[in-house]
Structure 1
Amino acid sequence: MRAESSLMDVPAMTCAHTDARQHAGQILKTDPADCLALTQALLEDLPCGAPDCAADLCLLAADAALRCGERDLSSAFLEQVTPTTAGGHVRSLLLRAQLAQGSGQVTQAAVYVQRAAQAARDAGLRGEEGDALSLLAQMQHRAGKSNEALHLLARVLTLRQADGNVDAEIRALCDQVVILNSQGRLRESLELLDAAQRRLPDCTDPLESALLVHANLGVLHEQAGQYGAAHAQFTQALDVAQRAGNQPESITMALKAGGMAHKLGHLDEAAELLTVALEGAREMGSTNEQSTALQTLGMILAAQGRGPEAAEAFQEAESLAEASGDVDRQLEILLGRATHHLDHQQPTLAGAPLKRALMLAEQAERTREMLQAHELLAQLYEDDAPREAIAHLKSAAHLSDQLRDVVLAQQARELTTQAELSSARRAVWHERQLRLASEQARTDAIAALDRERFYDDLTGLPNRLLMRVLLSQVAEQTTRGGQGVSVAILDIHRFKQVNDALGPAGGDELLRAVAGRLKAGLTKGEVLARTGSNEFVVLLLGETLEMRERRAATLLAALRENFRVHGLPVSVQGSLGIAHHPHDGTDPDELLRAAHIALDDAREQGHALARYQGGGEERQATLHFEAALADALNQGEFDLHYQPITDAASGLVRGAEALLRWHNPELGFRSPAEFIPVLERTGLIVPVGAWVLHEACRRASTWGGVPVAVNLSARQFQQGDLLGTVRSALQGSGLPPECLKLEITESLMIQSPERVQEILLGLRQMGVQVMLDDFGTGYSNLSLLRNIPVSGLKIDRSFVTALERGENASAQAMIRAIVQLSEALGLDTVAEGVEHAEEHQLLRDLGVTLLQGYHFAPPSATWNPEPHCPSGVVAAV
């Protein structure tokens, strides 16, 4: 949000410099350097005879110097100004405010702005008053007083509309969008942005207005987690700003585009954009933009394992943000810095920034940041101060409930708005039709509209909307009358196959027949509704739960007799889930959710009918977990830790295995044993696995020839272009193929040996080697092993664990057999899970060549081979 002064609107005066001054005002925003040079030349040519000329030229020069980042020169020009008009006095105060704000004198800046606003109001200068109030709103928002800022901007919008300045009106609307976005009020943001877009055809400065629209669209996409779309909008806004010659906005858009590139994992592009933005911000003396660039550059440096440089960037960013008085920037930097220290096992450095962040967030009423601070403090105190950790977790849970309530309320408002808009549009359309019809036609049309809203077109049954209303009514009536009501959801099995075999018309005929048979089995007061393609909901009445469950079983049994569709017999089977009011819920949503869970149980257990047995909370938690995991890659929440692979005889490092880790801001650190099976089941392992390959290769390219091992999933072999992904990772990182070791499981060889062999041959041709992981777990096919191109075997950790449990004889025999097999086939052997020196010695004596485990080093995000691998001592795994 940027307040624009009216300096370009230089009043025409009868003097020798009139034309030149007007030209200087016109190029002030697009080329402030040329404007500065021109005004300086004109000032040297004074006096010209006009009383206001010198003052106006000094104001122009001061503004141009400020835009060029020459604050001292701008201040010097202001000292020469003795305004002779009210407008000149207001502009002088606004420039002084901007100079004070840029140097961290926030209180003094606010005094200047308030004086400017009052002076403009007294003189009836609506444009200048709007400029002053816009700048004051910007300052209040940065200080955490966002609601006060919105009130000011509402006044600004009124002034702009009264003044007829469309460009300024668009700026005022977009300034409000910025604040609403920061508060998560996306629906209101969209409405204001839509109003701004409607005004674009009437504006006089299309480049600047287009810049505002693209920038705010980028922010909306960013708020929605659509980082690719946000990146595109910010890049387009950067192009517009550069074409307009608007250096301040070019810096801001470079920061935004760089931030999105960082979130998308395009670290080189992000670093390039942010470095350009940082240089421009330093040139202009813009502390806020400097702190933003340094914060994101610090994150990139941290991701690259350059901890000291990242910490230095964070520290400088924090100092600049504190000097500017921008609460949101300070919070972002403090929390980012603390997260960095916790991720890099530096808890003693995380405490101070976290406590400072919590205090600032509480003062500014920033609920999300308070939640994040409590969660990080709980993580910090987890080991050393459990009581404090629990207290912070309780505070975080309370804040999370508050945020959830806010989100639910916002969703309810959005749904209400959508419903009202939809109803209004449909009402308008129907009204146009009804004007041409008779009164009887009008009555028929209204009835048809009601049926369309509340009834299913195919079966004539109530739809989901009407069913929910009826459920509320029936529940209330039965409670008063002593009866009970249950909700049964019935799902028809294999309906898609029927639809495919008989065609859509046959499927429709079957659904109508099912609806007719179910409806015939209802008693008085019961309701049947169609709520999905092959889903029906029944509201069952009866005095006892058992009575209503028998009614449900009767309805389900009625489907067993064959139906006739197009003259052909069709067998129908179904599953039914039932939930009882009020035991399983009191409102329609609770009852329907419980019945759906019961239906899922009926399907999974193979039962025709199942009653709700609880478990809704666990299912919601599972859905929440899966949703967070699905977005983890886009949010940059994955990280790789590396564990060295060591030569059993010499103790030298021969490589390292890349191990995937996940930390979600809300769910915390999650075990790979918990999230990797979900990635496998959902297919997300394919894009995540591709990211792991690229990131591991990029990191290993800095290790001077030490190989990296990466685990592959069966899904990566079955879906996508695995060879292409490996090739891209190697080419993008510059890592030599012989420094990449891919690990596959024995079970994968059994599942699809032909495809595996084809891909492994392709990897061999690239020069990439493959290890067989978890060897010896019972799936081994020795003839297959002889024919598949693998370079080594990784002994399953269960054999190493058996050594510790005292099962030495059998475990040693198995390990010795695997070693002998490996030697016969010319393969390397790796034993993982080595915890103790005794295991190290025993495995070395058994002939195992390479070892991995906590005995040597735990997995670490910052591991590198330099302290462990002397120069010139590198061997392949």
Structure 2
Amino acid sequence: MTCAHDDARQHAEQILKTDPAGSLAITQALLSDPPCGVPDCAADLRLLAADAAIRIGQRDLGSGYLAQVTPTTARQRVRALLLRAQLAQAAGQVAQAAGYFQRSAQAARDEGLGAEEGDVLSLLAQMQHRAGKNNEALEALARVLALRQADGDVDAEIRALCNQVIILNSQGRLRESLELLETAQQRLPDSQDPLQSALHVHANLGLLHEQTGQYGDAHAQFKQALDVAQRAGNQPGSIIMALNAGMMAHKLGHLDEAATLLTSALEGAREMGSTNEQSTALQTLGMILAAQGRGQEAAEAYREAESLAEASGDVDRQLEILLGRAEHHLNHQQPSLAEAPLKRALALAEQAERTREMLQAHELLARLYEDDAPREAIAHLKSAARLGDLLRDVVLAQQARDLTTQAELSGARREVSHERQLRLASEQARTDAIAALERERFYDDLTGLPNRLLMRVLLSRATEQAARDGQGVSVAILDIHRFKQVNDALGPAGGDELLRAVAERLKTGLGQGEVLARTGGNEFVVLLLGESVESREARAETLLAALRENFRVHGLPVSVQGSLGVAHHTQDGTDPDELLRAAHIALDDAREQGHALGRYQGGGQERQATLHFEAALADALNQGEFDLHYQPVIDAVNGEIRGAEALLRWHNPDLGFRSPAEFIPVLERTGLIVPVGAWVLHEACRRASTWGGVPVAVNLSARQFQQGDLLGTVRSALQGSGLPPECLKLEITESLMIQSPERVQEILLGLRQMGVQVMLDDFGTGYSNLSLLRNIPVSGLKIDRSFVTALERGENASAQAMIRTIVQLSEALGLYTVAEGVEHADEHQLLRDLGVDLLQGYHFARPSATWSPESHRPPGVGAAV
């Protein structure tokens, strides 16, 4: 009997992988038709509907269809068991899913259904890999490959090879990966489905480049794979390639492109119920949100990503999320937030035998403990070095670049080749690569001297030796004065040449067993030996004296001076960390007092308090400790509200409320002002969007102009809040214009094109450049508070003259004026008479977190009774 559903059912099977939603719609329509009378047709349709529903995340629907099936054929039994395995896996029941997979594979093998057995084993291998059982996964894929070759299914053979490549890459076995990838590429000309096979090849080329750190090449491959997937109508493939391309765009710093690609992948993954893709997209979006100063949203994205990865049992995804989050915190000076995910990642990597992730975790832990716990840092470095010996294929990274230029589509077929030398790397080249890595880890690449980490190891050994034989040990830290000016005058190459010359001269003055290291841009550390403190300090003086003779850089004489801080074992410290901290304090004291040589005189507790303050401040954004208070800006004539200034406040559970005068300079010095400033912009715009058109003013830092994407941050804050651009006023200082006039003017022009106003803050303090003021696009001048304060002190004549001059200047330039610090009614009256447009100060309202235009009452107006 001929089945009336045959053609439609075959079409639904064909599009199942690329368009599961479409396949489900076709199958449901067939099931709603009258029965065709062919035995087993209804069961086949229900199994197909269950498969499609599971693929798009509708697991309850899929389970319902599956419950209606009583298999009568071998293929139906195999497929029913396979679908039960997938349902169990999606529910996090890994052991139960493995049992169903194995029963399904055995049933297919017993019936001689090679293609079906290969499909089952491929899915089983994926689950085993995610659970960290890589050897079992590779055994399953070896069986899959043999079945595909026996069936003559070239496209399935290519997929099996690429699946093996994924697992080998995760183990750092790049040589074997490349050999298998070469075999897959050689099979492409015989492919019957060139677009799908090309998708696998591009994807794996991208993964290979990502594995070897070639993110630009990886990005190009993933974008090409995304194009192929979209042309093939492969929705799952499009989601994964958009995800991978977005992650590479993030690594390359293309945040807008990354956010677009990742958001697209996240929406598609949620539609299909793909938890792994959702977790990865959320992780990277979390990093982008954090970089934009949206700490709370970033934390929520991280939490959701970790929850999804843990529920899916995907070890690699969990490791990627944990390590990525920890590295992000370290890069943004948030070490306390990095420790817990790093320890968890290391334990998980060790349990799952993920060598590369173990290495990465040890290296990040060494970086975490480098300053505060050097012994632990050294232990982690030693572990990392041992693991590095297991990953010797790093030399192939450069060679792998050649793969990208040899991948081109020709009609409907794909021809890819690469040079035989990719799998013939010589043992000597491998040895050289390993030696280079080890040298890079422990030595400064510019001077060849030991770096900070190796110096700690050597200092630790010296102090241990000193405890045994009574040898005297001191640590001296040398800082070269005015190095930035030399670097600016002679260029980076000149600065490098000077540092090498300084290193060579200092080395000539070392005694037996003494060590010189370069630990920073223009900072050197010397390990001094000698019986007495006096002799070691004399050696330190000799090192300083050696610098007094001019150096020659690019043929020009260069004078070098420096300061040096000395700390002695054991009176100033007993372990390397204490000694280095004491030497740094001595160096700071020498620089502050204008001395060449400084000896440690104590002060460690004050420095520790400062470190505690800075550490707490570094965590403040992610801990939600910042708040904005708002102070209204009033029309000097009629008292109407013309806006409000957003003022940053910080309350720490341990330190209490801290003054902006304390923490703002620290934010500036450490660079934390950039993410904090981004948060301020987003929060102020969000709040002002509820004020019905009342503008908000936000102070900008010089760092925000110099680092990051200020225009992008402002644009994001406006778009995210819906605040009209004309309701945002940004305040900058005169000194900023003097420091970077061209860059500032470029950014200010960009802000004006958006419709955002800019005010010049603290005007009249001595930096005023009238020619510059005439040419930059500002809308108003904020008179420096000192002139208003002078009115109160009785210095009325000179203060009034200055204020009147600023008002006349602003009128001539078409600018409005604002006076802040107004505390009394007579100041209000006087400033209004002098022609100041807008006023701000305690006379009108103190800054408040709850202020709003509706809650504001002019001074002297009582509450309603």
TM-score when normalising by structure 2: 0.58
> Secondary structure, in 3 states, of the residue corresponding to 2:17?
coil
Deviations along 1:238-283, one digit per CA (max 9) or x if unpaired, are 555434433345456667888999998978995897489548745x
Q: CA deviation at 1:481?
A: 2.8
Deviations along 1:442-482, one digit per CA (max 9) or x if unpaired, are xxxx9xxx999999999999999997776566544443333
User: Which of 512, 532, 552 is the matching residue for 1:544?
Assistant: 532
* Distance (Å, rounded) in 2 between the aligned partners of 1:785 and 1:452: 49
User: Which of 161, 166, 172 is the matching residue for 1:191?
Assistant: 172
Deviations along 1:817-853, one digit per CA (max 9) or x if unpaired, are 676556666575534456xxx8468635763753445
Structure ranking higher on relative contact order (CA contacts 8 Å, 6+ apart): 2
2:569 maps to: 581
Do the aligned partners of residues 845 and 467 (structure 1) sit closer, same or farther apart at CA in structure 2, a change above 3 Å counting? closer
* Distance (Å, rounded) in 2 between the aligned partners of 1:821 and 1:736: 33
> Secondary structure, in 3 states, of the residue corresponding to 1:709?
strand
Q: Does residue 657 in structure 1 map to residue 652 in structure 2?
A: no
CA contact (8 A) 1:90 1:116 kept: no
* Distance (Å, rounded) in 2 between the aligned partners of 1:666 and 1:195: 54
The amino acid that maps onto 2:137 is V
2:150 maps to: none
CA contact (8 A) 1:278 1:293 kept: no
Q: Does residue 843 in structure 1 map to residue 835 in structure 2?
A: no
* Distance (Å, rounded) in 2 between the aligned partners of 1:150 and 1:751: 54
Q: CA deviation at 1:29?
A: 0.6
User: Which of 629, 647, 666 is the matching residue for 2:635?
Assistant: 647
> Secondary structure, in 3 states, of the residue corresponding to 1:150?
coil
Q: CA deviation at 1:607?
A: 2.6
2:428 maps to: 429
> Secondary structure, in 3 states, of the residue corresponding to 1:654?
strand
> Secondary structure, in 3 states, of the residue corresponding to 2:568?
strand
User: Which of 135, 142, 145 is the matching residue for 1:161?
Assistant: 142
1:436 maps to: none
Percent identity of equivalent pairs = 62
> Secondary structure, in 3 states, of the residue corresponding to 1:161?
helix
> Secondary structure, in 3 states, of the residue corresponding to 1:29?
coil
Deviations along 1:156-209, one digit per CA (max 9) or x if unpaired, are 3332234326635755775899xxxxxxxxxxx583789767644444854554
* Distance (Å, rounded) in 2 between the aligned partners of 1:423 and 1:258: 27
Q: CA deviation at 1:63?
A: 1.3
CA contact (8 A) 1:656 1:708 kept: yes
CA contact (8 A) 1:288 1:321 kept: no
Deviations along 1:111-167, one digit per CA (max 9) or x if unpaired, are 4664444554687687466466568669xx8xxxxxxx324x553333223432663
1:78 maps to: 66
Segments of 5+ residues of structure 1 without an aligned counterpart are 1-13, 142-148, 178-188, 333-360, 369-397, 434-445, 870-877
Note the 1:400-799 alignment, pairs <5 A.
412-418=382-388, 428-429=427-428, 474-488=462-476, 514=505, 518=509, 522=511, 525-527=512-514, 529=516, 539-554=527-542, 556-557=544-545, 575-584=563-572, 591=579, 595=583, 598-599=586-587, 602-603=590-591, 605-613=593-601, 643-647=631-635, 651-659=639-647, 673-674=661-662, 676-677=664-665, 706-711=694-699, 741-745=729-733, 771-774=759-762, 793-797=781-785
The amino acid that maps onto 1:652 is E
* Distance (Å, rounded) in 2 between the aligned partners of 1:506 and 1:76: 74
* Distance (Å, rounded) in 1 between the aligned partners of 2:562 and 2:275: 66
Segments of 5+ residues of structure 2 without an aligned counterpart are 111-116, 146-156, 188-195, 319-339, 348-367, 396-424, 858-865
Q: CA deviation at 1:654?
A: 1.1
Give the paired residue count. 737
Deviations along 1:717-739, one digit per CA (max 9) or x if unpaired, are 99999999999999999998865
Do the aligned partners of residues 616 and 507 (structure 1) sit closer, same or farther apart at CA in structure 2, a change above 3 Å counting? same
The amino acid that maps onto 2:514 is V
* Distance (Å, rounded) in 1 between the aligned partners of 2:735 and 2:539: 48
The amino acid that maps onto 1:429 is Q
CA contact (8 A) 1:711 1:742 kept: yes
CA contact (8 A) 1:455 1:462 kept: yes
CA contact (8 A) 1:86 1:119 kept: no
Q: CA deviation at 1:694?
A: 9.6
The amino acid that maps onto 1:480 is R
Deviations along 1:689-729, one digit per CA (max 9) or x if unpaired, are 79988997898788765444344556789999999999999
> Secondary structure, in 3 states, of the residue corresponding to 2:598?
strand
Deviations along 1:387-446, one digit per CA (max 9) or x if unpaired, are xxxxxxxxxxx999999999986655444444776799899429999xxxxxxxxxxxx9
The amino acid that maps onto 1:167 is R
> Secondary structure, in 3 states, of the residue corresponding to 2:50?
helix
* Distance (Å, rounded) in 2 between the aligned partners of 1:262 and 1:737: 28
Do the aligned partners of residues 229 and 696 (structure 1) sit closer, same or farther apart at CA in structure 2, a change above 3 Å counting? farther
* Distance (Å, rounded) in 1 between the aligned partners of 2:100 and 2:48: 20
CA contact (8 A) 1:90 1:119 kept: yes
CA contact (8 A) 1:157 1:173 kept: no
Note the 1:287-366 alignment, pairs <5 A.
none
> Secondary structure, in 3 states, of the residue corresponding to 1:830?
strand
Do the aligned partners of residues 244 and 580 (structure 1) sit closer, same or farther apart at CA in structure 2, a change above 3 Å counting? farther
Do the aligned partners of residues 852 and 430 (structure 1) sit closer, same or farther apart at CA in structure 2, a change above 3 Å counting? closer
TM-score when normalising by structure 1: 0.57
* Distance (Å, rounded) in 2 between the aligned partners of 1:646 and 1:481: 75
Do the aligned partners of residues 664 and 511 (structure 1) sit closer, same or farther apart at CA in structure 2, a change above 3 Å counting? same
CA contact (8 A) 1:242 1:250 kept: yes
Note the 1:181-220 alignment, pairs <5 A.
191=172, 199-203=180-184, 206=197, 209=200
1:93 maps to: 81
* Distance (Å, rounded) in 1 between the aligned partners of 2:372 and 2:105: 42
* Distance (Å, rounded) in 1 between the aligned partners of 2:291 and 2:478: 51
* Distance (Å, rounded) in 2 between the aligned partners of 1:650 and 1:770: 24
1:246 maps to: 234
Deviations along 1:11-41, one digit per CA (max 9) or x if unpaired, are xxx9999999777545321233564577679
* Distance (Å, rounded) in 1 between the aligned partners of 2:293 and 2:469: 70
* Distance (Å, rounded) in 2 between the aligned partners of 1:640 and 1:261: 33
* Distance (Å, rounded) in 1 between the aligned partners of 2:675 and 2:140: 51
The amino acid that maps onto 2:794 is S
CA contact (8 A) 1:643 1:852 kept: yes
The amino acid that maps onto 1:830 is V
Do the aligned partners of residues 326 and 636 (structure 1) sit closer, same or farther apart at CA in structure 2, a change above 3 Å counting? farther
* Distance (Å, rounded) in 1 between the aligned partners of 2:308 and 2:457: 54
Do the aligned partners of residues 469 and 242 (structure 1) sit closer, same or farther apart at CA in structure 2, a change above 3 Å counting? same
Deviations along 1:617-651, one digit per CA (max 9) or x if unpaired, are 98799899989999999999999876442335655
CA contact (8 A) 2:81 2:103 kept: no
Do the aligned partners of residues 558 and 257 (structure 1) sit closer, same or farther apart at CA in structure 2, a change above 3 Å counting? closer
* Distance (Å, rounded) in 1 between the aligned partners of 2:446 and 2:737: 50
Deviations along 1:572-628, one digit per CA (max 9) or x if unpaired, are 755444333344555667656655664565455443323345678987998999899
Do the aligned partners of residues 808 and 155 (structure 1) sit closer, same or farther apart at CA in structure 2, a change above 3 Å counting? same
CA contact (8 A) 2:369 2:376 kept: no
* Distance (Å, rounded) in 2 between the aligned partners of 1:659 and 1:229: 45
CA contact (8 A) 1:794 1:830 kept: yes
User: Which of 796, 805, 810 is the matching residue for 2:794?
Assistant: 810
Q: CA deviation at 1:67?
A: 3.2
